[in-house]
Structures are given as C-alpha cells and as structure tokens.
Amino acid sequence: MRHSWWVLGLWALGVQAVWAATPWGSERLSGAELSRMPLPMVKAYVRERIAQQRLRGERAGADTTPPELTRLSVAPQSVAGEAMLVDIRASDKGSGIMRLGLYGGERGQEVSLAYDFPAPRWSLAETLSGEVSRYTPPGPVTLSWAFLEDKAGNFVEYEGEALTRLGPLQTTVINPLGGDRTPPELVRGVIETPRTRLSRTTPGSDDARYVRATLTVRDLGDPQVAGPAMSYLYFCTLDGQSCFGMRSDWPGPGVAQAALHFGGQPHADAVRPGVHYLREVALRDHAWLWRTYTSLRFPEGTDDLSAWFPEGDSILVKP
C-alpha cells in the first residue's frame, strides 16, 4: 500500500497563522503545520510532548507507550520534480500510530515530511511516496531525524545511531538544472502595530486581529531561483515568560523578491501585557532552504535586528 505526501517543497497555501506560548501553547499541531515549521521548532514541540507524556504516565494508567519504528529505507536515487520512495516498518501496542515525521538534508530540512494517517495503525509495512522539489540541488540527501505519534499523544523520536541502524537513509538527487543552493535573505521589516491591545478586533467584525507586520524577502538562488515560501516572526518579553509568533506564506515559486504580510491574534490566555521584542525571524524558500536571524536582545542572539527593522523591533501589548 502507498500513501502520498510532500517531502521537498510542500507548497505554501497562502494562509497566515499565529501561535503563542512556546509558541504553540497547549494546542495539538497538525502534520501540515509541522511540515511548515523550522526543524528546531518541530524538535522542541515533539520533546515537549515527550516530557508531558512522562508526567501523564506518572498520574494515570492510560496508554503511555509510544510507537516503535523498526525499519526505514530510502530509495538510493531520486529525481528533482519527481517521486522519492521510502519503505517504513513500525508498530504500536496501544492506541495506534497516527503520525510520522521525517527530516533531513544538508541544513536539516531539505527533506521535510509530517504525515497524518486517517485512522490509527497498529502495524505499518508500507512504501511511502513523496515529491522531490524541482529546486532541490543535485547530490546526496540523508534523513537525520524522525518521530512517531500515536492516538493517545505519545511521541518517540529517532536520530543518530538509533536512526541509522534502521536502514539506508541516503538518496542521491538528480537535478540537471542545478537547483537552488542559496537560502533567502531579509531585506527589510516593518512592525505595523508597535502598540496594540489584547482586546482589539478588526474594525467592523468580531475577528481578533491586533498584530500586523510586513517583511521584504529576497531569494537570489544558485543557479535556480526557488523564491521565498514562508517566514516566521517570534516575539517574547525579555524574561521569556510571554511569547507569540506569526507565520506568512507566499504561494508560488520562482519569485526573486516578495513582501510577506503578517496579521492575527495570539491566544490571549498565553500572552500577557508588556513589551514583546522580536526574538527570531526565520525564512524559507521553495527549495526548503532556511535562514534564521536571532536578536541580540536575547542570550542566544547573534543578530542586531535593528539593521532590518529601523522603525523598531518591539510591540507594546496592552490589556
């Protein structure tokens, strides 16, 4: 049996999204949402859920046993713009497998998959097929991280030796056009709501929509131009106790420069009043190449974001 999913180049859908807290709060993210997130954020989400299930296991007698991945084998060769095949073997003794995720590539996410099964599966022995983006550069691509989730919300992750022992994980991508080897870059950013309120709504409606921003993003490509696909903005108070984020997608490939617009309201129960500074900007193009900018205002920071946000890098959130 075969299932189809996007591997390299899950085309953005032209939608805008907002999340809060860490930054997803208590909500369960879908496979499509996880596929569009930067790999470090996906790992943080999965590891937070693993920690939660350990606490849950201490308090209740429900299913707390995660699924097990026993075989993962990638076809030795794939062609850009065509299908890539992956053989998978997995099982679950409890509530049944509902999702798997596979990530890999030179920058950790030139391969990206988070697949939701329509019904619980207690045993998987299937060949999955996915499309390799036409912008993927030629050469080897290796899966480096995987996760499974069951219906009860139990996660398990695999990387390093635990993953490599499952089977051959490398495919060689054939792309006579050369692909895109250059990640997108930030040209300029504008926070259009430097002051806002948790209670604010869009004029003339009940829709909560109090944060707006615009990024100008450029993708030079090398030698192909995949074009900007997606961007994340992540805001936090300096103590890190209140955070929220926004996502904006550009629907079509091949555009060298684009203006990405952000708008929406984070979950009010997870955001408190106070000054929220831009902590991180993450950009992705349609070749699944990422570039991340992290503010020097925070301990992990490496970039002075005022160079790209000359009009300010903060939002004062009022009640």
Report d(CA 192, CA 311) in Å as an integer.
Answer: 9
| pLDDT on residue 240 | 87
| pLDDT on residue 60 | 53
| pLDDT on residue 123 | 95
Report d(CA 192, CA 312) in Å as an integer.
Answer: 10
Instruction: Sketch the domain layout of the chain as residue ranges.
Output: 2-11+27-174, 185-318
Contacts of 309 (CB under 8 A, 6+ apart): 188, 189, 190, 191, 278
Report d(CA 148, CA 120) in Å as an integer.
Answer: 12
Report d(CA 107, CA 113) in Å as an integer.
Answer: 15
DSSP class of residue 88 equals E
What are the DSSP calls for 171-213, one per residue?
EEEE-TT--B-S--EEEEEEES-SEEETT-B-TTSS-B--EEE
With tokens 């309120």, the residue in question is 197
> Does the CA dihedral 50-55-58-61 come out positive or negative?
negative
| pLDDT on residue 107 | 56
Backbone angles phi, psi at 273, to 5 degrees: -60, 150
Low-confidence ranges of the chain (pLDDT < 70): 1-27, 36, 54-61, 106-110, 200-209, 265-269
What separation, in Å, do the N-terminal and C-terminal C-alpha atoms of the chain show?
53
DSSP class of residue 266 equals -
Question: With contact defined as beta carbons under 8 Å apart, do 264 and 246 qualify?
Answer: yes
Q: Tell me the per-residue pLDDT of 110-140, one tens digit each, with 9 for 90 and over.
A: 677 778 889 999 999 999 877 778 888 899 9
CATH code of 2-11+27-174, in short, is: 2.60.40.1930
Report d(CA 33, CA 271) in Å as an integer.
Answer: 21
DSSP class of residue 292 equals E
Sheet harboring 185-191: ordered strands across?
185-191, 211-218, 257-264
CA 140 to chain centre: 22
Quick one: which of 147, 90, 144 has its CA closest to 115? 147
Question: What 3-state class would DSSP assign to 298?
Answer: coil
Domains 2-11+27-174 and 185-318 share a fold: yes
pTM: 0.75
Contacts of 24 (CB under 8 A, 6+ apart): 45
Residue 77 burial by Cβ neighbours in a 10 Å radius (0-12, 13-18, 19+):
exposed
Record the tokens describing residue 210, joined without a space.
């109090």
| pLDDT on residue 209 | 58
| pLDDT on residue 304 | 97
DSSP class of residue 82 equals S
Report d(CA 80, CA 117) in Å as an integer.
Answer: 26
CATH topology of domain 185-318: Immunoglobulin-like (2.60.40)
